[in-house]
């Protein structure tokens, strides 16, 4: 009888631990991660916001990068961005994307976590991550580009909600 009770307790504890692991948010792996790590452009202005400052926008985290890139760096960043755009957005139509002059001017799309890519009909978490990108030629030097990358995380976040909260200006 003791063995039965002990086995039951161990099994229940194991189930609780497994259930907690399934509710954790998976890390979002992106091709543009080297940009956030400062490996493509060394001099970046990075800001991370969490907490009450962004709660009114239904966000839990906002990581913003502003940088000035030359044409080669812009092309590399754009190449990585398009890889994320193509790979991560296969199962999701939530996209706002514009190309000007043969290059991406802006792009907003949801980054899917790995389990959504392998099992598209299984939702792991209500936390969603969006990647926003904008690239404009610098006014003072047309061979340099002002690039803004923003990573947004929030529960039940949608593209429509982002557009409503952050009015895009062209």
Taking only the tens of pLDDT, the chain with its 170 residues reads: 666 565 555 554 444 544 444 434 445 568 899 998 889 998 889 999 999 988 888 899 999 999 999 999 999 999 999 888 887 666 565 778 888 888 998 888 888 655 554 555 555 567 788 889 999 998 888 789 999 999 998 887 888 888 777 664 44
Number of domains in the chain: 1
**Using CA atoms in the order 73, 42, 34, 59, what is the torsion angle rounded to 10 degrees?**
-110
Identify whether 9 is part of a domain: no
User: Has residue 120 been placed in a domain?
Assistant: yes
Residue 2 lies in a domain: no
Q: Which structural domain, as residue segments, surrounds residue 79?
A: 28-165
CA distance 93 to 150: 19
Q: Rounded to an integer, what distance in angstroms lies between the CA atom of residue 149 and that of residue 107?
A: 10
What pTM value is reported for the model? Answer: 0.72
- Total length of the chain: 170
């Amino acid at each position: 009888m003791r063995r039965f009770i002990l086995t039951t307790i161990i099994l229940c504890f194991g189930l609780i631990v497994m259930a907690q692991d399934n509710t954790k948010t998976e890390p979002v792996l992106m091709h543009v991660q080297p940009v956030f790590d400062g490996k493509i452009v060394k001099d970046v202005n990075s800001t991370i916001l969490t907490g009450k400052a962004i709660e009114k926008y239904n966000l839990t985290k906002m990581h913003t990068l502003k940088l000035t890139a030359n044409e080669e760096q812009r092309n590399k960043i754009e190449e990585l961005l398009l890889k994320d755009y193509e790979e991560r957005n296969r199962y999701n139509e939530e996209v706002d994307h514009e190309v000007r002059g043969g290059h991406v001017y802006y792009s907003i799309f949801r980054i899917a976590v790995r389990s959504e890519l392998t099992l598209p009909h299984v939702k792991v978490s209500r936390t969603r991550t969006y990647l926003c990108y904008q690239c404009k030629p610098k006014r003072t030097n047309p061979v340099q580009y002002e690039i803004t990358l923003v990573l947004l995380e929030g529960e039940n976040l949608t593209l429509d909600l982002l557009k409503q909260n952050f009015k895009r200006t062209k």
